[in-house]
Amino acid sequence: MTAAEISTLALEVLALKKSYGDVKAVNGLDLQVPTGQCFGLLGPNGAGKTTTIEICEGLNTPDSGTVRVLGRTWDRDADWLRQRLGIQLQETQLAEKLSVLETLQLFRSFYVSGRTIDDVLDLVQMGEKRAARVGTLSGGQKQRLALACALVGDPQLLFLDEPTTGLDPQSRRQLWTLVEGLKREGRTILLTTHYMDEAERLCDDIAIVDHGTVIARGSPRTLIASLGADHVIRLGVADGAHPVAIADLLTIADVTSGRQTLTGYELRVSSVQAVLPSLLAMADTRGIQWSELSTHSATLEDVFVALTGRELRDG
């Protein structure tokens, strides 16, 4: 890697390891986040995303491995770094008795330079709530205030740890719009999520994390393309029995790969139109009753399933 390339990395993590007792939370994880990118760490709960991001934020120390943030290290430049990072933790309860405005004034006072509070309030659409006590805010509003606290120092690099976990669908979409706005400003963002739709919508590049290591990396489009299949067909069988061997299903033309699930089968196919007639014909000849037949365009979720044999939400 040339010097020019290194300098364009906002974050570089090499061979990161962190254990808690016998549990290897992070186990040899590598990351490169170019400046200006919105980068996603996607993985199930317990994959090591939060430990990784907290090490990058300087809140946790690794057992081994290197972390360079904005080209610097936490050992030597902690104060310099803290002035330049914006951080939203997975769960922070801000002081309930303070108002939105007072909370932002407090956080703004820690930074040598930054945005004006009005500016940040507009950005997160909380201008009308400026006088409200934090304790009276809804979950989505609290999360937007937490984002505002992360933005008030005008950070070069923004860390968002599970920014929409626990929010209702409307609040999630509202937060996504905000993050998209930040992307347009050209900010570098590292976000963790276990929602594949969130990663797909917001991230330029994604690292899929499982058991403390990166198991796949690329843009959402590349990762989905790596399945070699644009669609997924789900088949359900009535009584949980599996009347066909998965190997037989995989012989059907245009079926790229597949697996047996608890309730039936899941097939990754390049063309739904080509595969469906064969499936129906097979049902006819063997007297199988499909209790469910659904198709969808392949998603990151399917990528995760193909890589691990488990579903994201299984954890």
Q: Which residues sit at the interface with another protein, rule CB under 8 A? A: 57-59, 79, 82-83, 85, 87, 89, 91-95, 97-98, 102, 105-107, 109-112, 133, 149, 153
Helix (H, G, I), strand (E, B) or coil at 181: helix
Identity of the residue, 50 or 164, whose beta carbon is nearer to another protein in the bound complex: 50
Identity of the residue, 50 or 308, whose beta carbon is nearer to another protein in the bound complex: 50
Q: Contact at 8 Å (CB) between 149 and 107?
A: yes
Identity of the residue, 164 or 299, whose beta carbon is nearer to another protein in the bound complex: 164
Identity of the residue, 112 or 247, whose beta carbon is nearer to another protein in the bound complex: 112
Please report the DSSP string for 223-247 in residue order. HHHTTT-SEEEEEEETTS---S-HH
| In the complex, minimum distance from the CB of residue 267 to another protein, in angstroms, rounded to a whole number | 44
| In the complex, minimum distance from the CB of residue 88 to another protein, in angstroms, rounded to a whole number | 9
Exposure letters 238-258 (e unless 16+ CB within 10 A, then b): eeeeebbeeeebeebebbbeb
Q: Contact at 8 Å (CB) between 94 and 134?
A: yes
| In the complex, minimum distance from the CB of residue 102 to another protein, in angstroms, rounded to a whole number | 6
**Burial of 194: CB neighbours in 10 Å, binned 0-12, 13-18, 19+:** buried
Residues facing 34 on adjacent strands:
9
Residues facing 213 on adjacent strands:
210
| In the complex, minimum distance from the CB of residue 150 to another protein, in angstroms, rounded to a whole number | 9
Total residue count of the chain as it appears in this document: 315
Identity of the residue, 69 or 298, whose beta carbon is nearer to another protein in the bound complex: 69
| In the complex, minimum distance from the CB of residue 52 to another protein, in angstroms, rounded to a whole number | 15
Identity of the residue, 107 or 304, whose beta carbon is nearer to another protein in the bound complex: 107
| In the complex, minimum distance from the CB of residue 53 to another protein, in angstroms, rounded to a whole number | 11
